[in-house]
Chain A
Amino acid sequence: MTIAALVHVVVSGLATGSIYALVALSLVIVYNATRTLNFAQGEMLMVSTFAGFTVYAHVKLPLVVVMLIAVAAAALLGWVIERVIIRHAIGATHFDVLIITLGLSLVLRSAAGLAWTHDEFPFPSFFGTRPIVLGPVRVAPVSLGIIGASLALMLGLWALFTRTRLGRAMRAVAQNQRAARLVGISVERVYAASWILASVVGAIAGVLIAPVVFLSSQMGLVAINGFIAAVLGGFGSMPGAVVGGMLLGVIENLAPLYLPSSIKHSVPFLALIAILLIRPGGMLGRVARRKV
């Protein structure tokens, strides 16, 4: 394998990894605030992207506007789901809520099939497809674009969590709900904000990845790899989600170069098992030890 091919594969892996990282981040945001695993994250991302696409298909608006529509749809979807379904299950066990989100994912996927059919649609891209040539190395602009946009979004999230009142409130709730309530933070508002924020991050990931994998009702399956990325990095850790996502993308792309191509889809799970054996808490996570 030449260096040029290797660079292409790694960059392409980082691009896919950025998407995994964004999905992992949206899972972690909801988990940290509410201790709920949102299995419907992938389908929420898919539905939001479809919402943007529907407007695009009818009126050819600029792509930035399409993304804003997807983001608005995502915010609305996140808010409605939290308000109408999840908040009523506030007293339920985590396991019950997990099953609710799993059911929700199936409902959303079928609904998307009814509304938009189960077909694949070409989605417009912000970035060109002709490769950028740097000496012997060729890099796809779409890969660089996805990496750049994702990093910018991650930076924004970092600023939100460290510099704003809402971010601090979300972190406080993540650390200790009771204490947060005692100092006057509205836990309910933080819950709603987390669902909306996670949904929005997912929608941006959706708009970025849809031109590459085509838009379809199956697109939400990307959340499985996002979930693995989050566990790899240490579930609950936001930097861990980013590192886990990037790593997973690169490993997944590199492995088939040296091994049979069909191994690609086992790679995420092999990586997961390996990490859990070596570091049960994930790469950047903490192992919760209990004294007996």
Chain B
Amino acid sequence: MRSGWLLPLLALVVMVAAPARAEQGVTDTEILLGGSNSFSGPLAFTGEQITKFGVDLGFKAVNDGGGIHGRKVRTIWYDDGYKPQDAVANTRKLVEQDQVFAVIIPQGAPPVVATLEYLEQNRVPLLFPYQSSTVTRGRHWVFQGMTMSDRSSRMMIDYLVGRRKYRKFAALYQDDEYGKSFLTAFEKDLARHGLRLLAVESVKRGVTDVSAQIAKLHTAKPEVTFLVLVPGPGAQALRERQKIGWTDTLMVSTGPLTDERYLSLAGDAAEGVEGLSLWPDPLTSDLPGVRRYREHMQNYFPRNEPNRYSLAGYFAAMLFAEGATRAGARLTRESLIAALQSVKRWESGILPPLTIGPDHETQKQAVWVRVERGRFKQLTDWLKSE
């Protein structure tokens, strides 16, 4: 038989020609990233903006500039609707079927926490999760994105008690990992000042009616009421407060909530509300990185209004590109981790110079803002959380 030796020979040629086992999700021409995010449910707007208009915007710019060591970045997104069980299923699909190199910017503490163990077991990098619980801190395969709840809490309490001299606090929080991690941190930081929360009320995830909770918090007469919610219920709380004419409390939103979405839903009920903002103003900031982001948005998605979600996603794409560039032409998951760990005083032009330490946190600061005529006005410089 003439072809008896042909097949084994061909196989040998292919084996020799192929490079030493390439990393999953990385070819000579492409890096494949993916993520499970909210494209339905209460965080659908956020999810769409951070991924399709944020991360993808950043990578479009990177790809059009020649890619990373000649490789273009491609992304795959799946919808989990803010449900942990769907996030787990999506993440398995990304890793096992689509064979992604890393997971990027999944959203919300409950879905992210649900996938953490699986990703670590499979040694898949989890990059910049868009959530604030401290569960993701100090893990080898995770680089935390958003400023964590304990740092946010320290900045908020120190600013409000130290500089603004408030003494009486209450909180309305979402009854899950997101809300509870903030609540614990508030209690700890208030205790440092010899204070405590006068009243706390919880809101179930995905619920929009908060009238009973607001009525109960009102009776406790706090000077400051923290809102640890997502935009829908956050806006509801402000409107409910306006409905009952409760004016003698300062409503303060946590970093994850302080955004344009919450403002547009609340309308004039948001006037005078303050909060911690994790990002410079995407529409008005003159920082070079934010200007570049606006130019790119204008070029690639001219119909999409700039907002801090797409800015966060854009930042995540820039930071990934920085890490992957540092990792060199032979990109592996381990080399990416090592490269990101080596980032020192990196200028994004969006956030202050970034140094990533062994805690793997990529964002540690925030500024204080107040809503004036429907826009966030910055009241402080970057606050410190160390």
Contacts and interface: CB of A to CB of B under 8 A. Distances in A.
Interface in B234-262: 235-236, 239, 242-245
Interface centre among B213, B245, B268 (most CB of A within 10 A): B245
B287 interface: no
B208 A8 contact: no
A214 B265 contact: yes
Interface residues of B, number: 38
Given A16-B209, A264-B212, 16 more contacts: A5-B219, A5-B244, A9-B215, A12-B243, A118-B40, A118-B81, A129-B242, A129-B267, A133-B245, A138-B245, A143-B243, A214-B208, A214-B232, A253-B211, A256-B212, A261-B203
Nearest to A12: B211
B371 interface: no
B213 A261 contact: yes
Given A1-B219, A120-B231, A122-B265, A253 B242 contact: no
B265 A120 contact: yes
B175 to A, nearest CB: 7
B309 to A, nearest CB: 12
16 contacts: A5-B219, A9-B215, A12-B211, A118-B44, A120-B45, A129-B239, A131-B244, A143-B243, A214-B235, A217-B40, A256-B213, A256-B216, A257-B212, A257-B215, A262-B175, A262-B202
A187 interface: no
B39 interface: yes
B202 A119 contact: no
B209 A213 contact: yes
Interface string A134-170: 0000101011000000000000000000000000000
Chain A interface size band reads 20 to 34
Interface of A: 1-2, 5, 8-9, 12, 16, 113, 117-120, 122, 129-131, 133, 138, 140, 142-143, 212-214, 217-218, 253, 255-257, 261-262, 264-265
A28 B235 CA distance: 34
Interface in B10-50: 39-42, 44-45, 48
B218 A9 contact: no
Given A122-B265, A261-B201, A264-B212, A129 B48 contact: no
A9 B206 CA distance: 22
B139 interface: no
Contact of A122 (B208, B211, B267): B267
Nearest to A122: B265
Contacts of A138: 243-245
B85 interface: no
Contacts of B48: 117
Contacts of B219: 1-2, 5
B204 interface: yes
A131 B236 CA distance: 15
Contact of B245 (A117, A131, A214, A257): A131
Contacts of B45: 117, 119-120
A206 to B, nearest CB: 15
B244 to A, nearest CB: 6
